């Protein structure tokens, strides 16, 4: 596998390091284009730590990049440099015929290069919030780091070959660094390759025609996992190691489902990672990284639906695991009903598009709060799952209670949110009908045959007739809508989670041929355009972040479930 470093970063399981080819399209950075060693720690003001260049006789020279999971190779006419990340905090460099330059021409406050013992140097980059130990193993170091009384600026470190070769190591550390022996470079490369192949073997199987896409999907998921650190209490799959370097509290659900087939231990960590931070009221944070929570928003309660999917895939979730999730899932359900129903009509609300996960959907074109029918649908299913879990745990009265609450909410939704045999989004309080052509209004198809037959038929008919299905899948806004935008985030582009939710509802509704058609379109698009955050609904071109784990996870789930 050889992937595009301008779209997919070079990293490894567990590491907060990533190496990326920064271009003008790369978001959330102000550094010049080039190849950079980066950090994905959540407290880093600037994630680009140092630029990586190849040099010959003190001059930077052009090179081509070849990337595989275990090795990054930078090839110039004069020689090459190879890079491996054998351990989460370790980056190894080995070169022949050329030298390596690590530089920062824009030093920030307090950046420093400090000579240590045995020829080692500490690189302290404050705005990136990392301290690095540079360890030369073979070759000569040339350091240009003038001290101005507060910081070193600029910082330029050249690692020059001796007998045409050099080797060096960069290690991240916090308060103290300890020397340790290094294995042969090629042995480290082979060890990383074996680690990735082991992970890939735990990914869902897919049809042969999608085997290369499966390998890339597996790499994106493997390399996006970070080890426990700070607020992250267990191995966590970030959404990306580009710029979406957080875990959001519905994104993690799709990653958990994809892992649940053959890697249930890691799948369970992905489900529970947000519940580690549930507050006393039952709410989950909108997102976390290792240093930061966001509580301004939340995400939809798809966790019961997720648990149900995982339980169908693995026997790993035994009663001990169900005891771990049951009470947190009860509190999360009750939070919506207790704290997100300001007009007390029994129908919960979103206070912002971000709460739904569909940030700028036209469902929120009127001032929130909005009683969007997908929210009640998720909670109906979540209460059903809680009923099933309570029954398995021997809590019969609680099982009956959750089943009754599920029926009650479904009945309220049908009576409250239907007009002319269509489910509507309403403004909470005024109950003003929201005029929208968003795919979000079709998500209640998840309720399938729980819905009145005429309502379900209208949802299916609307998908087919309202210009929601393109040659590449499900547009998130009708392509005939005046609000449709090709790169409009949730106002047009195709997204993985909306695709999976709709597909699951269609499957439960018996629409087998439509399901296969949508899944095949989505899978072909991913195979051609990679695993982007979202896609142009009319061209299939990848948009925004181009190494997004919930997209790779949904690809794996759907191709395994419906095309194998």
Tens digit of pLDDT for each residue in 520-557?
Answer: 999 999 999 999 999 999 999 999 999 999 999 999 99
Residue 75 has pLDDT above 70, yes or no: yes
Distance CA 199, CA 188 (A): 17
pLDDT band at 107 (very low <50, low <70, confident <90, very high): low
Residue with tokens 């992937």: 3
pLDDT of residue 535: 98
- Which two three-digit tokens encode residue 56? 């010959």
- In the chain, the percentage of residues whose pLDDT exceeds 70 is 99
Could you give the CA distance from residue 267 to residue 265 in angstroms, rounded to a whole number?
A: 5
Cα–Cα nearest to 27, from 532, 559, 484, 478: 532
pTM above 0.75, yes or no: yes
Q: Are 497 and 299 in contact (CB under 8 A)?
A: no
First CA to last CA distance, the chain: 22
- pLDDT at residue 106 tops 70: no
**Residue 29: predicted pLDDT:** 79
Q: In whole angstroms, what is the distance from residue 380 CA to residue 197 CA?
A: 40
Cβ-contact 417, 426 below 8 angstroms: yes
What pLDDT does 192 receive? Answer: 98
Q: List, for residues 413-444, the tens digit of each pLDDT value.
A: 999 999 999 999 999 999 999 999 999 999 99
Q: Average pLDDT, stretch 483-506?
A: 98
Mean pLDDT of 115-120: 92
Q: Within 10 Å of residue 115's Cβ, how many Cβ atoms?
A: 11
Task: Give residue 225's Cα distance to chain centre.
Answer: 10
Q: What is the pLDDT of residues 280-334, one digit of tens each?
A: 999 999 999 999 999 999 999 999 999 999 999 999 999 999 999 999 999 999 9
Please answer whether residues 251 and 214 qualify as being in contact, where contact means their C-beta atoms are separated by less than 8 angstroms. no
Mean pLDDT of 56-77: 96
**CB atoms < 10 A from the CB of 60, how many?**
13
| Alpha carbon distances (Å) from 157 to 46, 54, 85, 143, 234 | 19, 12, 20, 5, 35
Give the pLDDT band of residue 109 (cuts 50, 70, 90). Answer: low
Distance between CA 185 and CA 165 in Å, rounded?
13
What pLDDT was estimated at residue 96? 98
Cα-based distances in Å from 128 to 44, 144, 175, 408: 4, 20, 16, 51
Closest to 125 in 3D by CA, of 135, 114, 115, 136 = 114
pLDDT at site 110: 80
What's the distance, CA 94 to chain centroid?
31
> Model confidence over 368-407: pLDDT tens digits?
999 999 999 999 999 999 999 999 999 999 999 999 999 9
The set of residues, in sequence order, having a beta carbon less than 8 Å from that of 175 and lying 6+ positions away, is: none
């Amino acid at each position: 596998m050889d992937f595009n470093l301008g779209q997919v970063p070079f990293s490894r399981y567990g590491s907060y390091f990533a190496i990326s080819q920064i271009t003008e399209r790369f978001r959330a950075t102000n550094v010049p284009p080039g190849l950079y060693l980066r950090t994905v720690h959540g407290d880093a003001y600037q994630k680009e730590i140092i630029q990586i260049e190849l040099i010959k006789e003190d001059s930077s020279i052009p090179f081509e990049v070849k990337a595989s999971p275990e090795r990054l190779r930078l090839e110039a006419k004069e020689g090459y440099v190879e890079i491996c990340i054998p351990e989460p905090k370790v980056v190894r460099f080995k070169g022949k015929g050329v030298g390596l330059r690590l530089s920062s021409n824009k030093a920030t406050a307090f950046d420093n290069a400090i000579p240590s013992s045995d020829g080692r140097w500490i690189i302290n980059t404050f705005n990136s919030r990392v301290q690095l130990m540079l360890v030369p193993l073979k070759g000569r170091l040339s350091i240009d780091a003038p001290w101005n009384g507060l910081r070193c600026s600029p910082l330029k470190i050249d690692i020059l070959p001796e007998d045409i070769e050099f080797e060096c190591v960069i290690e991240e550390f916090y308060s103290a660094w300890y020397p340790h022996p290094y294995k042969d470079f090629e042995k480290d490369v082979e060890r990383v390759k074996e680690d990735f192949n082991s992970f890939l073997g735990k990914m869902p199987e897919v049809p042969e025609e999608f085997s290369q896409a499966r390998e890339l999907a597996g790499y994106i998921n493997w390399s996006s996992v970070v080890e426990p650190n700070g607020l992250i209490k267990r191995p966590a799959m970030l959404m990306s190691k580009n710029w979406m370097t957080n875990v959001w509290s519905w994104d993690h659900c799709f990653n958990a489902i994809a892992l649940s087939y053959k890697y249930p231990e890691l799948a369970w960590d992905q489900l529970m990672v947000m519940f580690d931070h549930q507050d006393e009221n039952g709410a989950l944070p909108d997102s976390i990284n290792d240093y930061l929570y966001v509580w301004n928003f939340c995400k939809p309660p798809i966790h019961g639906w997720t648990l149900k999917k995982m339980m169908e895939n693995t026997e790993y979730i035994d009663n001990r695991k169900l005891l771990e999730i049951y009470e947190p899932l009860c509190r999360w359900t009750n939070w919506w009903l207790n704290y997100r129903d300001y007009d007390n009509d029994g129908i919960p609300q979103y206070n912002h598009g971000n709460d739904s996960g569909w940030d700028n959907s036209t469902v929120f074109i009127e001032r929130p709060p909005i009683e969007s029918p997908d929210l009640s649908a998720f909670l109906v299913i979540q209460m059903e799952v809680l009923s099933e879990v309570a029954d398995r745990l021997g809590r019969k009265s609680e099982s009956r209670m959750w089943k009754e609450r599920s029926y009650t909410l479904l009945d309220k939704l049908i009576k409250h949110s239907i007009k002319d045999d269509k489910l509507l989004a309403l403004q909470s309080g005024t109950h003003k009908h929201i005029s929208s052509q968003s795919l979000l209004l079709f998500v209640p198809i998840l309720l399938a045959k729980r819905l009145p037959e005429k309502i379900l038929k209208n949802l299916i008919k609307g998908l087919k007739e309202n210009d929601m299905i393109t040659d590449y899948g499900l547009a998130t806004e009708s392509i005939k809508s005046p609000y449709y935008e090709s790169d409009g985030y949730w106002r047009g582009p195709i997204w993985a989670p909306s695709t999976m939710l709709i597909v699951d509802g269609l499957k439960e509704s018996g629409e087998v041929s439509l399901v296969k058609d949508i899944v095949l379109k989505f899978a072909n698009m991913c195979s051609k355009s990679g695993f982007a955050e979202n896609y142009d609904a009319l061209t299939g071109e990848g948009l925004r972040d181009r190494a997004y784990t919930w997209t790779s996870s949904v690809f794996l789930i759907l191709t395994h479930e419906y095309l194998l």
